[in-house]
Amino acid sequence: MTQIWWVRHGPTHAKTMTGWRDIPADLSDTDAVKRLADHVPGDAIFGSSDLIRSIATADAIAGDRPRLPPSALLREFNFGRWDGLHYAQIAEEWPDLSRQFWETPGDITAPGGESWNDVSARASLYTDSILSSHPGKTIVLVAHFGIILTQVAQATGKTPYEALAQTINPLSVTQVDYSSGRPRLLLVNHNP
């Protein structure tokens, strides 16, 4: 069985848009981190995005299990000029664009940023590569809210708008099975 266990990195406590800004995760809830480390399969291969909040979370839960190099393909959305801004400020300065970005995701981008379709394509590029190089394995990938949602949408056939309604908590697990040749969602937003 080939599965990817998507894990969202630990909380950042950021109150602003956080995409490619490299801010750390708060991993001080050692009980939650231990529960997650114990929950993921012992024979899994671990990977993560190349942002420190994902790398540190993967370090905390992987132990001595095999690791893949961190990848920029698993980064959160690039929010461009919106990165680091509060949602209210974005809505005030870009009222129409910010509404379109969330209500009709697909090709809409933040100024200097990426669209849903851009992020979905790069996540799929990474996923396809990992699945072909590690057939029959369980892979744990520590990534971000947006990346995980693109995979939920692919596995369920939901539109991007529908997928954006899904909660993905920090340190949660979303399991996708690829054994049948197409992704199938087994578990979403599970906090062990």
pLDDT of 34 over the 90 cut = yes
Average pLDDT of 46-55?
A: 98
Global pTM reads 0.95
What 3-state DSSP class applies to 8?
strand
Rounded to an integer, the average pLDDT of 64-71 is 96
> What's 11's DSSP letter?
P
Q: What is the pLDDT of residue 179?
A: 87
CA dist 171 and 11 (Å) reads 8
Per-residue pLDDT band for 1 (boundaries 50, 70, 90) equals confident
**Residues counted in the chain:** 192
pLDDT tens-digit map of 120-171: 999 999 999 999 999 999 999 999 999 999 999 999 999 999 999 999 999 9
Supply the pLDDT for residue 180: 83
Q: With bands split at pLDDT 50, 70 and 90, how would you rate the model's confidence at 182?
A: confident
Task: Name the percent of the chain lying above pLDDT 70.
Answer: 100
Which residue in the block uniquely carries the two structure tokens 């669209």?
115
Give the pLDDT mean for 110-115: 97
- Averaged pLDDT, 53-79: 97
List, for residues 84-93, the tens digit of each pLDDT value. Answer: 999 999 999 9
Please state the rounded mean pLDDT for residues 18-35. Answer: 97
Domain residue limits at 96 = 3-190
Which residues lie closer than 8 Å to 165 by C-beta, 6 or more apart? none
Token code pair at residue 101: 């970005």
Overall number of domains in the chain? 1
Contact 3, 172 (CB under 8 A): no
Burial call 21-59: b when 16+ CB within 10 Å, e when fewer: eeeebebeeeebbeebeeebeeebbbbbbebbbbbbbbe
Reported as a pLDDT band with limits 50, 70 and 90, residue 181 is: confident
- State the Cα–Cα distance between residues 160 and 123, nearest whole angstrom: 14
- What average pLDDT does the structure give for the chain? 96
For 98, list phi and psi in degrees, rounded to 5. -65, -35
Residue 107 amino acid letter:
D
**Left, alpha or beta for 186 (phi > 0: left; psi -120 to 50: alpha)?**
alpha
The three-point CA angle 148-154-160 to 5° equals 75
Hunting for tokens 């893949």 — which residue is that? 68
Q: Which residues pair with 143 in a beta bridge?
A: 8
CATH number for the domain that contains residue 16: 3.40.50.1240
